[in-house]
Structure 1
Amino acid sequence: MKILLSYLRFTVLLFPLLAMQSDKPLRVIFFGDSITQAGVGQTGYITQLRAMLQDKGLGDQYELMGAGIGGNKVYDLYLRMDEDVLARKPDIVFIYVGINDVWHKATHGTGTDYDKFLKFYQAIIKKLQDNNIRPILCTPSVIGERTDYSNEQDGDLNRYANAIRVLADQHSLTLVDLRKDFQKYLEKHNKDNEEKGVLTRDRVHLTEAGDKFVAEEMMAGLLKK
């Protein structure tokens, strides 16, 4: 009888705690570079995604947070993970990096070699999973919007994007394939083969329409089971 009473007391105490946990929104961090840093702005993709979730009646189920810093490459993300991601105890982290790793090869003479990019990216995934955090991988989008394969760094971008696709497959992770989705959209909507002005304002950073497009793709990844 004493054992039964103890069990019942424990159950009565446990149920409210479980209810509180189930009502707690999932904390989602978007981890990246200047595109993500701008994502928390008035028309940024994180802000637009928050509004989209509200419109679907899902706003109270997710807490969205940005962790973007301009100029960051994959190893910058890894080095600031503890403070900017793990300390905030997220449930889900979107890894959105790769543009600067490619772009800065031409603009700054730096960038990130392919093998180094892959190793740091894998290390980020492992650290998140070791902390019971669900990673969602994102391929880098564009450095130039031309659709005739004349953007200078299309080759590198395709290579790095494909590496992320492979990692998503190897680890059975959700993939938001922005590289593929941008190319498909631009083939349809960039009929004049402009290098910018459709989804980006400077070949890389997003217009309001670009932020809306990314928000829609991110939402699909977030809601994917």
Structure 2
Amino acid sequence: MGIRKPGLWRWFLGVWLAGAGLSGGRLAASDVPPVPAFHRDARILFQGDSITDGNRGRSPDPNHILGHGYAFLVAARYGAAFPERNLDFMNRGISGNTVRDLAKRWQSDTLDLKPDILSILVGVNDHGRGVPLDQFEQDYDHLLADTVAANPRIRLVLCAPFLLPVGRMKEKYAEKFADIQARQAIVARLAAKHHAALVRFQPVFDAACGKAPAEHWIWDGVHPTYSGHQLMADEWVRTVRKFWPRSPARP
């Protein structure tokens, strides 16, 4: 989902300025709640499908390298508020990816990057392609086990997939949502097994639908709008701050 209209760019700029504490012409880190897990020189990698991809650039151009979504919003806020920490945010989400697609590129796109924090959001394409639940769990479990084996100190953030009844998703929504809920439960089990932070986006979107129609948050039932991505960024930060309340010991 490309961001073309000037009004949307102004919105993103406003979010960045407000989050970084620069709207008044100054850097106000005190206005941004610190994330203890973001230690100095930390490398934070976002992995997943199109929701994470966010139409990101494939060149080193820093204007577009993180895409236009929740990963960008988290990075913009904390990169500006805590420049002295030299945080390195990376995005390797690819549109359409399933767990098996991630596995095919895991070495070069994840392990070789040696992240300190690895955030993964995947599952909606496994649902869309009818990947059996047991296969989804087994493949995901193996991926996480391989990751921890390669880097025992890594901090994992598992984001559960989500869905809202918008557009084509309205058709047989109860059936679709039941499958998504099953995958949410799988992600929760894997998070517990691998000692990962679990980000539950579904309750956040469900609550937000009490304030505005579902289309305001997720335009097609799967891909969030800019408003939806802000909710995701906020929930991601809240979860990570709570799960790791203290800075990690450095090697």
TM-score (norm. length: structure 1) = 0.76
Tell me the distance in 1 between the aligned counterparts of 2:190 and 2:101.
Answer: 19
1:17 aligns with none
Distance 1:58 1:164, change over 3 A: farther
Answering whether residue 51 of structure 2 is matched by residue 29 of structure 1, we say: no
**Are the equivalent residues in 1 in contact too, given 2:74–2:237 (CA < 8 A)?**
yes
Residue deviations 1:15-44 (CA, integer Å, cap 9, x gap): xxxxxxx98511111110011111745642
Cα displacement string for residues 130-160 of structure 1 (whole angstroms, at most 9, x for unaligned residues) = 122222111002153599x945511001011
Residue segments in structure 2 that go unaligned for 5+ positions in a row: 1-37, 57-63, 245-251
Q: 1:177 to 1:59 in 2, by over 3 A?
A: farther
Please tell me the residue identity of whatever aligns with 2:234: E
Gaps of 5+ in 1: 1-21, 105-109
Instruction: Report the more deviating stretch, 112-121 or 161-170.
Output: 161-170
Partner of 1:68: 93
Cα distance between partner residues in 1 of 2:118 and 2:106: 11
Mapped pair 1:200 → 2:218: yes
Q: How many residues align?
A: 192
- Normalised to the residue count of structure 2, the TM-score between the two structures is 0.68
| Match in the other structure for 1:141 | 162
Q: List 4+ stretches of structure 1 deviating above 4 A.
A: 39-42, 149-152
Give the number of the structure whose residues are more often helix, by fraction.
1
In the alignment, does 2:184 pair up with 1:164? no
After TM superposition, the structure 1 = structure 2 runs for residues 4-43 of structure 1, keeping only pairs within 5 Å, are: 24-38=40-54, 40=56, 43=68
Q: Secondary structure at the residue paired with 1:68? A: coil
What CA deviation, in whole Å up to 9, does each residue of 1:59-98 have, x standing for no partner? 7353111111111111111121001111111111111100
Contact 2:157–2:196, Cα closer than 8 Å, also in 1: yes
Give the one of 114, 133, 142 matched to 2:133.
114
Q: Is the radius of gyration larger for structure 1 or structure 2?
A: 1
1:151 and 1:125 map into 2 onto residues whose CA distance is: 30
Residue 165 of structure 2 aligns with an amino acid whose one-letter code is: G
Question: Cα RMSD (Å) of the superposition?
Answer: 2.6
- 1:49-198 correspondence to structure 2 within 5 Å: 49-54=74-79, 56-57=81-82, 60-102=85-127, 104=128, 110-132=129-151, 133-144=154-165, 150-186=173-209, 188-190=210-212, 194=213, 196-198=214-216
Q: Percent identity?
A: 29
* CA–CA distance in structure 1, aligned partners of residues 74 and 55 of structure 2: 9
Contact 2:198 2:239 (8 Å CA) reproduced:
yes
1:220: Cα distance to partner? 2.1
